[in-house]
Amino acid sequence: MRTINYIENMEQWRSEFTFHIPVKVRFSETDMYGHVNNVSPFIYFEEARIDYIKHTGLLTDMASKDGAVIVADLQCDYLQQIYFSEKLKMYVKTHSVGNSSFELHYMAIKDNGEIALTGRGRMVYFNPQTGRPQPLSESKKKLLVKN
């Protein structure tokens, strides 16, 4: 398996995920190459990320005025072709937490247990009223770390 610069030890990295959502690949997410288009995994990442963030309790409402999160960057490694109607387990975990940002990691698992996709991306916590990043309180940091 190839080297991915945000994964030190694949077995350990994989074992640290617990939260996931089911994803069923739609026909409209394929392309003329016959498999899932390279844009589609970012749709899956987003769906899983939002559910994960609700799950942690960091945000319960995506339209809250107290705090919001924004994607600073996103990265996806395509390890296996994915085909129409496949069922994936789309995992998300917190990799690290900074002052006003945190990094999430992503992993999509096929029915046969193989890793189809890995990914990562930094999220910024900000104040929707000022549009500026705001610090994550210690209690909010804990919500992210323990999930």
Q: Which residues bind a second copy (CB under 8 A)?
A: 2, 4, 24, 26-28, 30-35, 37-39, 42-43, 46-47, 50, 62-63, 70-78, 84-85
* Count of CB atoms situated within 10 Å of the CB of 49: 22
- Residue 63 or 146 having the CB closest to a second copy: 63
Residue 142 CB, nearest distance to a second copy (Å)? Answer: 25
- Residue 1 or 139 having the CB closest to a second copy: 1
- Residue 33 or 130 having the CB closest to a second copy: 33
Residue 87 CB, nearest distance to a second copy (Å)? Answer: 13
Listed residue (80, 111, 91) closest to 44, CA to CA: 91
Residue 143 CB, nearest distance to a second copy (Å)? Answer: 20
Instruction: Note whether 103 and 121 are within 8 A (CB).
Output: yes
The phi, psi pair for 133, rounded to 5°, reads -60, 145
Residue 54 CB, nearest distance to a second copy (Å)? Answer: 9
Question: Distance between CA atoms of 100 and 97, rounded to whole angstroms?
Answer: 8
The CA-atom distances, in angstroms, between 141 and each of 14, 20, 146 are 22, 20, 9
- Residue 16 or 31 having the CB closest to a second copy: 31
Q: Per the structure block, which two tokens stand in for 40?
A: 């589609």
